[in-house]
Amino acid sequence: MRTVHFGLSSTFSIIPSAPFNFDGTFHKPSHCPAPLEAWERGKYWQALRVGEKIYGLRIVNRGSRAKPRLGVSVFGRGKIGKKERDAIARELEWRFDLASDLREFDRLARRDGGLRPVFRRWRGTRDSSALGLYELLVVSILLQNATVRRTVQMMNALLERFGTRVSFDSKTLFAMWLPAAIHDVGEDELRKLRIGYRARFLKRVSDDFSRGVIDERSLRTLDENMARRELMKLYGVGPETARILLYPACHRATLLTHIAPWQQKIYSRLFYARRRVPARKIQGDLNRRYGRFATLAVNYVWEDLFWRREREPIPWLEREIRL
């Protein structure tokens, strides 16, 4: 594993569409904790790959919900040109959905009696993904049949072996490897990192990405059903992993199509204040209530719960998620 040290290369601003919620957009407490990003109130850091190149990024909130503005500092080796800067800005706009139009969802959320406080608290929050498609796919594969603790172990083992440690602005974060880096590594060598049968998935998927079998760019233009179908063609991607990848892949909210048993238990508490409601009923009810924004609505309520968990222990939740 190599370490790179970056200095300040460039700064610029991005104006997201209003309303915008900085912390809700840049910090997702329900996500699997990995040393790929860092957050504190109003500030966010990550190592970002654009093509082959790695940059260190610091993003600072310099606006408000109604008049949003982001201060972006790019860390790298030497100066960067306007073209490079624009490419970074465009990638950030995509990943964090900075230009998204949330007006219709806002109207819908305001009509929701019981959950209005939640929607109001997070108003302007984007569903977003700090990671690129391949990177997120790696995380999703490691989540399969594993607790979060174990996923983190596997992730760290892989990052130590294949990742790049990026040191900038007094932070040290990892950038993930490129798919091609796994190409020449044997499956048994991956297994030594204790990722088990997932080694086969990781290898096949890395090969597919490095050979360009899947095109992240064109996936971004597809509607949700086409995108889901494309994702499920990938080896190791079934209904649950496709659900996780769908938003990052094409940035469309959609109807709920799949509720896993552990999610069912949590949704039962959140939406019905009961222990266990049949998954089919939950899916039907939420789809009727929020229509094509169902996944986004669930996302707000879900993240709100995990924000609460960061402040105070939630015993019933701890039992369900077994960290």
Partner DNA sequence: CATCAGGGCCCTG
Partner DNA sequence: CAGGGCCCTGAT
Q: Which span sits near DNA by CB under 7 A: 78-86, 171-179, 229-237, 289-297?
A: 229-237
Three-state secondary structure call for residue 49? strand
Contact call for residue 322 and DNA (CB under 7 A): yes
CB-nearer residue toward DNA: 109 or 242: 242
Write down the least CB distance from residue 171 to DNA, Å. 25
Contact call for residue 186 and DNA (CB under 7 A): no
Contact call for residue 283 and DNA (CB under 7 A): no
Contact call for residue 33 and DNA (CB under 7 A): no
Given candidates 67, 77, 149, 280, which one binds DNA under the rule CB under 7 A? 149
Instruction: Give Cβ neighbours of residue 69 (< 8 Å, ≥ 6 apart).
Output: 13, 14, 15, 16, 61, 62, 63
Q: CA–CA separation, 60 vs 45, rounded Å?
A: 9
Contact call for residue 137 and DNA (CB under 7 A): no
CB-nearer residue toward DNA: 47 or 143: 143
Contact call for residue 239 and DNA (CB under 7 A): yes
For 58, 75, 135, the CA distances from 168, given in Å and listed in that order, are 9, 7, 21
Residue 75: Cβ within 10 Å count: 23
Contact call for residue 213 and DNA (CB under 7 A): no
Write down the least CB distance from residue 258 to DNA, Å. 8
Residue 321: Cβ within 10 Å count: 15
Q: CA–CA separation, 225 vs 204, rounded Å?
A: 24
Q: Name beta bridge partners: 74.
A: 10, 57
The rounded radius of gyration (Å) of the Cα atoms in the chain is 20
Q: Where on the chain is the footprint of DNA (CB under 7 A)?
A: 32, 143-150, 153, 191, 194, 196-197, 200-201, 234-242, 260-262, 321-323
